[in-house]
Amino acid sequence: MQFDIIELTQDELIALSTVQMRLLRSAQREKDELTAELARDKQTYYNIAVTNGMLGSGVYEDKCGELEAECERRVDIIRDDLIYNMSLNVPTGDDGDDPPSGGEAGYIVDYSLSYLDRYQIVRSYYMAIADPAERLAVYTADETAKAYLGMYYTTLYNVLYQYI
C-alpha cells in the first residue's frame, strides 16, 4: 500500500506500532476512497456539461474547483485526526461499537485488533513488571483485561502464574 496521506520516511514507517500502522492504513484507505469519489463526480459533471453543450462556459471548471476544494478539506480533516491519534498511539472509534476501555489500562485497548494481537500487547505490558507476584496480583485485578482478552485472559493468567 502506498502511503501519501502524511509524509513518512521508510525508517519512520518501520518504527510504527501495530496500532499506529492500523490507523495509517485506515486513513489512507479513506483518502483513497475520497479521491476515487472525486474522480467519479468530476466525470459525472463532465458528462453533464458535454451533454448540455456547456463545456466551454466555465461551469464545469467551477464545479471541479468546488469538488476539489471539498475533497481537500475532508482529506485535511482525516490527516489531522491521523496525526493526533498517532501521537496518542490510541485509536478513536467512530462507530461506537467498541466496549469502553475504562481508561485505567496501562496498555493500548483497541478492539479492532485480533485476539492474538491483544494478548501480545497485554502480555508485554505485564511482563515489564519485574516482581512476578506483583505482576500476577495486578493482572488479576485488571477488569479491563478480562473484557479485552476474552478467552485469552485465562491463558495469560496461567502464563503469568508459572513465573511465581
pLDDT in tens, 114-146: 888 899 889 988 888 888 999 999 999 999 999
- Mean pLDDT, rounded, for 84-94: 60
3-state helix, strand, coil in the chain (%, to 5): 70, 0, 30
Q: How far apart are CA 117 and CA 20, in angstroms?
A: 13
Separation of alpha carbons 147 and 39, rounded Å: 43
Which band of pLDDT confidence, cut at 50, 70 and 90, is reported for residue 104?
low
Domain with 157 in it: 96-164
Q: Which of 88, 105, 125 is the last residue of a domain?
A: 88
Q: In this predicted model, what pLDDT tens digit does every residue of 47-72 receive, in sequence order?
A: 999 999 888 888 899 999 999 999 99
Last residue within a domain, chosen from 88, 117, 138: 88
